[in-house]
Amino acid sequence: MLHNNKYIFIQEGTVVSSRKERSIPLNTISETLEKGISGTDAERKIGIEGLMRVRGAKATRLEREKLRLSKKLGANHPRVMELTNTIEVNRGLIRDLEVQRDHAGTEIPGVDENTWILHGFVRDKNFKGIPNLTVALYDQQGKWVGQLGYACTNKTGYFKLSYSNMRDDREKPWFTALTGKARQCPQVFIRISDQKGMLLYTDKQSLTPEPGRVDYREILLGNEVDACKPPEGTMRPKPGTEKPTTKPSSQKEDQGTTEKPGK
């Protein structure tokens, strides 16, 4: 950098002013940014909840007006049909706001060089979070990778699963943080089950757990289901579907999609 006809070499984490040069530790910068992001998300959640209240009040008014006009003009009158369409649009907006509220209220998990984290949401076809489901990881032979544990979805459908080779299975870690680029971690697949252990969903997109990494998934299920239990060695498929094969991606499951939003 050229300053007052002299070259000044700036190192990472260094702030240069016209008066003097001072160093700021990188961890201080990181903590400051994290606090700022956390505060922004909290404020955003409050704002979204305010919009939801406004939309909720509007929905009530629209329903009352629709009822009034239906009695006066008939259910098939153009004005009533137009109100019906407006009500559906408003419902969609409320649904989208609920999703955004859940995102804003979810803390971004921190991770160190020895830890891998998988987190995300499980929702129904109406984008409502589904609670009390079991989220676990299975290998290519369809066996539960017990060392990676399992997670249960909360009331918003959120789940978080983490593994650390410094905390879990210290004597025989499932993966080892190797030096350089020599990381060879087995691929795993997400499976979701209900309280009876019935298989509801198998992700066709594999995951490769690696230390120092955070993976995120949003999964949509076709049907509403309930309560959580620990996974067994293998999952029983839903009645009428094929039994698990050696490759989870080839078995049948409820129609669902997996996305990767930027959360």
CATH number (domain holding residue 127): 2.60.40.10
Give yes or no: residues 205 and 143 share one domain.
yes
90 found inside a domain: yes
Give yes or no: residues 68 and 137 share one domain.
no
Helix, strand, coil share (%) of the chain residues, nearest 5 = 30, 25, 45
Distance CA(8)–CA(181), nearest Å, equals 34
- Domain encompassing residue 55: 28-104
Distance CA(122)–CA(258), nearest Å, equals 9
pLDDT digits (tens, 9 = 90+) for 2-20: 445 544 444 444 444 444 5
pLDDT digits (tens, 9 = 90+) for 72-103: 889 899 998 999 998 888 888 888 888 777 77
pLDDT digits (tens, 9 = 90+) for 195-212: 888 899 999 889 988 888
pTM of the prediction? 0.57
Give yes or no: residues 158 and 208 share one domain.
yes
19 found inside a domain: no
Looking at the structure of the chain, the number of domains it has is 2
Sequence-distant (≥ 6) Cβ neighbours of residue 260 within 8 angstroms: 216, 217, 218
129 found inside a domain: yes
Give yes or no: residues 121 and 240 share one domain.
yes
Last residue of a domain, one of 52, 84, 104: 104
Give yes or no: residues 215 and 164 share one domain.
yes
pLDDT digits (tens, 9 = 90+) for 220-257: 897 545 456 667 665 554 444 334 333 333 344 444 44
Among 118, 96, 257, 260, CA closest to 188? 118
